[in-house]
Structure formats: structure tokens, C-alpha cells
Amino acid sequence: MIFFWAFVVGGLICVIGQIMFDVFKLTPGHTLSILVVAGAILDGLGLYEPLIDFAGAGATVPITSFGNSLVHGAMQEAEKHGIIGVITGMFEVTSSGISAAIIFGMIGALIFKPKG
Amino acid sequence: MADKKKKNVPPSAQQYQSFQDKREVKRPIVKNCIKAFFVGGFICFIGQLISTFYIHFFNFTEQTVGNPTIATLIFITMLLTGFGVYDRIGQFSGAGSAVPVTGFGNAVISAAIEHRTEGFVLGVGGNMFKLAGSVILFGVFSAFVVALIKTILIQWGGL
């Protein structure tokens, strides 16, 4: 059942992005930035965690989860070390997205040749 | 040259503007949304398959499985971007392939591949986050503000 909800919730988040593209005529950069900020705010309100429980990868794969996990890491560390933890814990949870993008970006640049 | 300084657009330009608006191809919003829904949903479905795999074989929990899933998806994105398949998916689906984390990976990786002709330090290193940088900037800054407010409320507001 979680496969079905992952499909539906993930698809709906993409539809929101598509509406921002087409109706509000935003560039992809603006759209993704807004979605990331929305994810961070939703986690601040405590709404993103239940969505992950409900939809699994449907909530963790869209870019909104990036904002969510940034806030999450910051909050985990903040509970231990107080206000300074907000800065030290920022990338605690979300390290994989950025490190994978950098590592595979470099490997891709080494292996593949640009086309066109 | 003088036209640039005028704040009000001359009537001929206004006419042209309205003419242009009339001729602009209307975007098929409903059709695009359906495409985005199915492609985006399919990517999340694959993500869920990978998550289930990691939960069963590598002892991750529902909350921690996001990390290896995202890394695996970005690896797949690298292959698809390198072989030029992701561009075609992107043209077909619009936001359906841009909004999932694979779109973020594609932005980084395609920039890295595209600029390798300018050298590895200035080309790949300097341009890798050209498109994806704004996502990281606004993500980190908004997360900072949100976490700061929440921490202050918890510590001094007694929430």
C-alpha cells in the first residue's frame, strides 16, 4: 500500500511544481527554491514527519525533503547543544544528497563527454 | 537609444506586446500536469522500491532510509544524464523529473559534464553548483531561520 501512496503523493508534489512552471511562469530555479523553503517550513510546523510515515519515498524523494532534513539535523543537534547546534547540525541528516551529487558529478565529468 | 530612458513604453511597443501575447502558444496545463504526475510518481515509486530493499537487507528504519535511497537515485541519475536520456525525460515531463531529487542531481551532474572542456578546476569546480546552488542556499538559510525560531521557542518559551 505504501507503494501506491508513494506514487500519488510524489506525483502530486510534482504537479504543484508543474503548476508553478506553467501558471505562475516561474523558472525551475525559482520553483525548486520555493519547494525547498516550503519543506523546511512544513518540518518546522511538524507536518513533514507524518507525511513521510504516510507516503515513504513519496515524501523523501521530492526536493521538499531536502529542506525537511536540513531542519531535522539542525533540531537534533540543537536539543543537545542549544542554539549553537543549529549551525553545527545543519548537514547532519542530509549529507547524502549533497555528497552524492558532488561525488557522482565528478565521476560523471571524468567518464562522460559533453554532447552537442 | 532614447527609448531606453523613457519609462513609459511607446504605443507601438504596446501593440507589439499585445500582438505577442495573442500569438503566444498556450501551454497545455492539464496535459503537462498529468505527465508530471505520472513521471514524478513513477520516480517516487522507484525510490520506494529502493527504500524497501534497504530496509529489508541493510537494517535501515523508515526514518533513516531516505539517505541511501537518495544516494542511489543520484547514482542512477548520473548514468541517465551521461547517456543523454535524462534530458529527453525532462523535455517530456517538465516538473515531473525536475522536482524529485533526481532533478537536483541532474542539474549538478549535467553542469559538471558540460563544463569539463573548460578544465577541472575552473570549469567543473566552478560551475557544478551553478543551477543547484540556489536550492542549497535557500534550503540552508530557511532551515537555519526555522530551526533558530523553533529552538528559541522551545528553550525560552517553554513549548
pLDDT value of position A97: 82
User: Domain range holding A89?
Assistant: 2-111
Higher-pLDDT residue of B138 and B25 is B138
What residues in B contact A28, CB-CB < 8 Å? 95, 98, 103, 131
pLDDT value of position A116: 54
Residue A107 located in a structural domain? yes
Centre a 10 Å sphere on the Cβ of residue A14 and count the other Cβ atoms it contains.
Answer: 33
pLDDT value of position B1: 41
State yes or no: pLDDT of B79 exceeds 60.
yes
Mean of pLDDT values over A63-82: 87
Query: With an 8 Å Cβ cutoff, are A70 and B63 in contact?
Result: no
What residues in B contact A65, CB-CB < 8 Å? 66, 101
Residue A116 located in a structural domain? no
User: How high is the ipTM of this complex?
Assistant: 0.88
* Domain count across chain A: 1
Query: What gap in Å lies between CA A49 and CA B115, rounded to an integer?
Result: 38
In the structure, what pLDDT confidence band is assigned to residue A42 with cuts at 50, 70 and 90? Answer: very high
Q: What is the pLDDT of residues A15-35, one digit of tens each?
A: 999 988 888 888 888 899 999
Query: What gap in Å lies between CA A12 and CA A19, rounded to an integer?
Result: 10
> Mean pLDDT score of chain B, rounded to an integer?
84
Query: What gap in Å lies between CA A9 and CA A51, rounded to an integer?
Result: 9
In the structure, what pLDDT confidence band is assigned to residue A38 with cuts at 50, 70 and 90? Answer: very high
Residue A17 located in a structural domain? yes
Domain ranges within chain B, ordered by starting residue: 30-128, 133-159
Chain B interface test: which of A1, A15, A23 (most B C-beta within 10 Å): A15
Residue A70 located in a structural domain? yes
In the structure, what pLDDT confidence band is assigned to residue B46 with cuts at 50, 70 and 90? Answer: very high
Give the residue on B whose Cα is nearest the Cα of A22.
B29
